[in-house]
């Protein structure tokens, strides 16, 4: 009975930015738990490769290419998919980007791209999907936050601002939509080996610093995010709303 709470059979999950990295790992994990997967990205070639990888593992996969920063394109794509293919029961808002540089010299255009990709996209996709979930009286929204939701470090102040905003938008989603049967929560990864972090992974000085700074003493592996994602996407979290769970090896717990 307890394991049935985590079963996603019969559910369909849209994972934005799922052609690589954390998004692809979460798509694989939800598929293994029984969910149909809707992969999303802007690069059609990479998206098709990700979909093929999921299908080869036995998953039922749909491809839905749209730009998460384009409000009208998002709404049109989601509405069309719901009409033609069926309900989106789970949304993982994963699409994001990073840009590093000293704050006093940070390019305004890079700041704007971060705002659009990391926070506006959560609004655009979240609203488009929630409109259908509300009508059905149920739905799961998981917004990918970051260790930078709670902490800052040099060179990424605008990124930190966007991830703090994602956590607060998550609280707002829960406050507005819990009454309609939706659970909206955040999943905040610490430092994980992903393409987004490749430059840091390959920097011996940074990796040594991270090992000392993190109680677990290492980089995280993307597969270690899957359990929390399944929990937040399943009936096991039916009364969990508006919270952000940090999966970070203890870095936010320790000075």
By 3-state DSSP, what share of the chain in percent is helix, strand and coil, each rounded to 5? 55, 15, 35
Query: Alpha-carbon distance 112 to 97, whole Å?
Result: 12
Give start and end residues of each alpha helix (H) in the chain.
21-32, 44-56, 71-84, 108-114, 121-136, 157-177, 198-201, 204-213, 226-233
At which residue do the structure tokens 């399943």 appear? 234
- What does the longest C-alpha to C-alpha distance in the chain come to? 56
Of 81, 111, 123, 159, catalytic: 159
Distance (Å, rounded) from C-alpha 3 to C-alpha 1? 6
Q: Let me know: does 95 contact 166? Beta carbons within 8 Å.
A: no
User: Would you call 139 helix, strand, or coil by DSSP?
Assistant: strand
Is residue 180 part of the annotated active site? The answer reads no
**Count of C-beta atoms within a 10 Å radius of residue 165:** 18
Chain-centre distance of CA 51, in angstroms? 17
Distances (CA, A) of 249 to 12, 50, 130: 30, 28, 32
The residues that are catalytic are 159
């Amino acid at each position: 009975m307890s394991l049935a709470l985590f079963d996603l059979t019969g559910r369909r999950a849209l994972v934005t930015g799922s052609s690589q990295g954390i998004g692809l790992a979460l798509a694989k994990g939800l598929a293994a738990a029984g969910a149909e997967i809707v992969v999303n990205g802007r690069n059609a070639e990479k998206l098709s490769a990700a979909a093929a990888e999921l299908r080869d593992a036995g998953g039922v996969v749909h491809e839905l290419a749209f730009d998460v920063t384009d409000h009208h394109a998002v709404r049109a794509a989601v509405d069309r998919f719901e009409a033609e293919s069926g309900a989106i029961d789970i949304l993982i808002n994963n699409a994001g980007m990073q840009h590093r540089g000293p704050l006093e010299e940070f390019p305004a255009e890079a700041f704007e791209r971060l705002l659009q990709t990391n926070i506006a996209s959560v609004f655009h996709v979240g609203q488009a999907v929630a409109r259908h979930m509300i009508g059905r009286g149920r739905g799961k929204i998981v917004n990918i936050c970051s260790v930078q939701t709670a902490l800052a470090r040099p060179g990424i102040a605008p990124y930190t601002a966007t991830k703090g905003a994602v956590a607060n938008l998550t609280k707002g989603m829960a406050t507005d939509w819990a009454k309609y049967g939706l659970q909206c929560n955040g999943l905040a990864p610490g430092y994980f080996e992903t393409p987004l972090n490749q430059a840091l992974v390959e920097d011996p000085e940074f990796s040594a610093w991270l090992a000392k700074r993190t109680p677990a003493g290492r980089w995280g592996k993307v597969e270690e995010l899957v359990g929390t994602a399944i929990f937040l996407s399943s009936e096991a979290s039916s009364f969990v709303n508006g919270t952000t769970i940090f999966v970070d090896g203890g870095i936010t717990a320790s000075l």
